Chain A
């Protein structure tokens, strides 16, 4: 596959993400597939941030390992990123800000000094235009047509009228022309490949999926990396008819969502591990009252506040165990925005079908980074059934009626004659408490067990509804990767590299991490030779789950918990080690 990657680095507040997004959007409009990686810190100004826009004629599933163009806004960016450039690469910088000597750069990489400040001064004395010349130069070297860059910049300014747009167009053109006279287009540059693609983050895809699935209510408390779900839905609240409520805390957020759901509205909340920890009791209440709710848990590095702007898959145990006692739940684990869209739609359907909380496990790497999807991959025409499924029929209504599936007829407040109490205490079929004067009395001891059995029976239904592990690659490969969530992306890229090197592997990805169907999991593992579990956490939490649920144990592990996502080269190296030497 052909690929080219443009990286921009500088300090928080320099506009790095906006440079990166503009370049990424140029690529996606060229019809190329893109992965846009935004690396930032928990500061608003200063520090070091960088963005990599990686474009390819086949879909890149990760940030990749190297770049071809580096636009360095400060000296630190050269020091940190020059070694990440491939031969033939270019470092764009402004010599008025800092010098770059040839000895600062790896062999085969050249510097391109662009007078960005001088260009900016042509248009304005304000310091708002410094990046435009650099973006223009980067676009030239990356093979992006100037008219396309100008369209993207114009669109990104939106309705902001006036000089600022013209200045940016002028300055970026100057940078572009300067580069065309002083540098050449990178050999890896790609040409247009057809229709523009959609570029979105995992969180945007989750918001879109919620809207398509009929979500009418989101309550959320700000927490990185889940906040942009709320931002996207809030921006579309009126046009989509979705109430978006920023709650006073995560306790309120999930209880509001459960309340709205009880009232007959498809509802969601989203958070990261810290906020999810506060939601734990409510999750059980949704399970006990059999009220559907969708909870997005976008993980970041823990424990405690951890690394707020860095990724991890460390909350699986928490998601599995959240809540006192036992109740049915499912945990869906998309790995790419297109999967995040579909998983969110599915989460709403499962929550409604099984009247229980459903979790969507994301993480910072999926939630906040950009990837391209084709329009056809996002089917917004989702069938949304009516929630009114039971009518008064003259018989006594039993909200928690025993049924074969465990799912009972659900009335909604406002329906005459179907009044019931949704109780967080244990209750009988009618919803009457059996927690006080009845508890411990033999008849009600049996009733309690029967009601637990009824609720937990829904878990069998969720097992049947679970998407089975998906195998990618030939069945007889000597090595099988085992993974869930965003980690799957880097493995896909690593597999492509291994294939190119003549090393065949396959991948077992788990779009549903819980509940697992033990038979299917065992069958999938039975066909494997060596297995390599890849997870972004310390203890191999999914490996433990596989062992507990299905009795399968991956033979090798690659675990990472430094806050960074997996890079394909790390996975390639470990795979080669395992394949060559039989592991550690």
Chain B
């Protein structure tokens, strides 16, 4: 046998294939952590869409929030710090029949991994990236993060942060993401809608979730956000309008918008990569078919 056989698809054994639910592992987050709301939102979004759990891969890096894949019943890849997105991209290109969701924190995505964040958006890879943005490093016990606000006193910045924070929404708009949203882990129903919309959207979907760290961030708390957030859809925002999306992305203060900032249709990387038009790479024939002619070029 010279070429690999196409993959045999597993039999469903007559019963409907289970959709994503909780795994047997209970989250190890601190009681009251914002990330509980996010894992619930991701789970409910996948359930609502009815995607079988074996066709979902959840990919993360390192940090409190990056433990998320363990708490759901899908496939998961819990990689190293900052590299969730390139792993997720590789998985998509390896088998674009899969639903791929990247998860992680603000340090993972906007600090050590920010280069991958920008590039995966400009490629418009068809995956959904959900960040749990708590504006602090939690698992390393409370240092400043790339989204910590100016003046925020942390263990690494005892006199206050002196760097301007990254604005993930504006960065996503500038980088070419085709679905850009912000959720709040204190509003799981709304968050579920945003994540489900992102999964359904064909292209790179970014959902930045305000997900308070109850242990190390005493500034950006649930109360802080509850007093400030308002929903873009209630404010008459048109997510097709990128200029308006830019304007809304700059709002951060007494009023903080949540909801869908921007959505557009653009061919995905998978659409444009011609090799993938023959089907998921994992199921394509491997090896050299036309052997004689391939060697002729070396004569």
Residues of A near any B CB (own CB < 8 A): 28-29, 196-200, 204, 208, 211-217, 219, 236-243, 245, 247-249, 251-253, 255-267, 281-282, 284-285, 289, 375, 378, 380-388, 391-392, 412-425, 432-433, 436-437
Are B86 and A259 neighbours in the complex by a CB distance under 8 Å? Answer: yes
Are A381 and B295 neighbours in the complex by a CB distance under 8 Å? Answer: no
Residues of A within 8 A of B97 (CB): 414
With A238-B275, A380-B291, A380-B295 as known contacts, state yes or no: A262 contacts B281, CB within 8 Å: no
Looking across the interface, which residue of chain A has its beta carbon closest to that of B115? A248
Residues of B within 8 A of A421 (CB): 69-70, 75-78
Q: Would you call B54 an interface residue if the criterion is a C-beta within 8 Å of the partner chain's C-beta atoms? A: yes
Can you offer 10 A-B residue contacts whose CB atoms are under 8 A?
A241-B285, A248-B116, A252-B116, A253-B86, A261-B90, A263-B90, A264-B95, A375-B295, A413-B75, A414-B9
Q: Would you call B2 an interface residue if the criterion is a C-beta within 8 Å of the partner chain's C-beta atoms? A: yes
Of A208, A219, A263, the most chain B CB neighbours within 10 A belong to A263
Least Cβ–Cβ distance between A281 and chain B, in angstroms = 5
With A251-B86, A385-B4, A414-B54 as known contacts, state yes or no: A262 contacts B91, CB within 8 Å: yes
Partner of B90, one of A262, A380, A381: A262
A251 to B86, CA, bound (A): 8
Least Cβ–Cβ distance between B174 and chain A, in angstroms = 16
Least Cβ–Cβ distance between B103 and chain A, in angstroms = 12
Least Cβ–Cβ distance between A569 and chain B, in angstroms = 30
Least Cβ–Cβ distance between A395 and chain B, in angstroms = 14
Are B53 and A243 neighbours in the complex by a CB distance under 8 Å? Answer: no
Looking across the interface, which residue of chain B has its beta carbon closest to that of A213? B287
Residues of B within 8 A of A198 (CB): 295, 298-299
Looking across the interface, which residue of chain A has its beta carbon closest to that of B277? A238
Looking across the interface, which residue of chain A has its beta carbon closest to that of B7? A388
A-B contact count (CB 8 A): 232
Residues of B within 8 A of A243 (CB): 93, 273, 275-276, 281
Are A413 and B54 neighbours in the complex by a CB distance under 8 Å? Answer: yes
Residues of B near any A CB (own CB < 8 A): 1-5, 7-10, 12-13, 17, 25, 28, 52-55, 57, 59, 62, 67, 69-70, 73-80, 83, 86-95, 97-98, 115-116, 118-119, 273-276, 278, 281-282, 284-288, 290-291, 294-295, 298-299
Are B2 and A256 neighbours in the complex by a CB distance under 8 Å? Answer: no
Shortest Cβ-Cβ A-B pairs, 8 listed:
A259-B90, A263-B94, A214-B286, A260-B94, A264-B282, A255-B86, A421-B76, A256-B90
Are B276 and A432 neighbours in the complex by a CB distance under 8 Å? Answer: no
Residues of A within 8 A of B3 (CB): 384
Are B80 and A413 neighbours in the complex by a CB distance under 8 Å? Answer: no
With A258-B87, A392-B10 as known contacts, state yes or no: A383 contacts B1, CB within 8 Å: yes
Residues of B within 8 A of A388 (CB): 7-8
Are B87 and A414 neighbours in the complex by a CB distance under 8 Å? Answer: no
Are A415 and B54 neighbours in the complex by a CB distance under 8 Å? Answer: yes
Least Cβ–Cβ distance between A244 and chain B, in angstroms = 8
Residues of B within 8 A of A419 (CB): 53-54, 73-76
Of B54, B290, B298, the most chain A CB neighbours within 10 A belong to B298
Residues of B within 8 A of A413 (CB): 54-55, 57, 75, 91, 95, 98
Are A255 and B295 neighbours in the complex by a CB distance under 8 Å? Answer: no
A282 to B80, CA, bound (A): 7
Residues of A within 8 A of B25 (CB): 432-433
Least Cβ–Cβ distance between A34 and chain B, in angstroms = 12
A266 to B28, CA, bound (A): 35
Residues of B within 8 A of A422 (CB): 76-79
With A240-B288, A265-B281 as known contacts, state yes or no: A29 contacts B80, CB within 8 Å: no
Residues of A within 8 A of B118 (CB): 248
Partner of B2, one of A219, A237, A263, A384: A384
Residues of B within 8 A of A285 (CB): 79-80, 83
Residues of A within 8 A of B2 (CB): 381-384
Looking across the interface, which residue of chain B has its beta carbon closest to that of A197? B299
A258 to B94, CA, bound (A): 10
With A262-B94, A421-B69, A432-B70 as known contacts, state yes or no: A256 contacts B28, CB within 8 Å: no
A420 to B55, CA, bound (A): 12
Residues of B within 8 A of A214 (CB): 4, 286-287
With A263-B95, A433-B67, A433-B70 as known contacts, state yes or no: A199 contacts B298, CB within 8 Å: yes
Looking across the interface, which residue of chain A has its beta carbon closest to that of B74? A419
Are B75 and A420 neighbours in the complex by a CB distance under 8 Å? Answer: yes
Are A259 and B77 neighbours in the complex by a CB distance under 8 Å? Answer: yes
Residues of A within 8 A of B282 (CB): 216, 263-265, 387, 412, 414
Residues of B within 8 A of A200 (CB): 298
Residues of B within 8 A of A437 (CB): 28
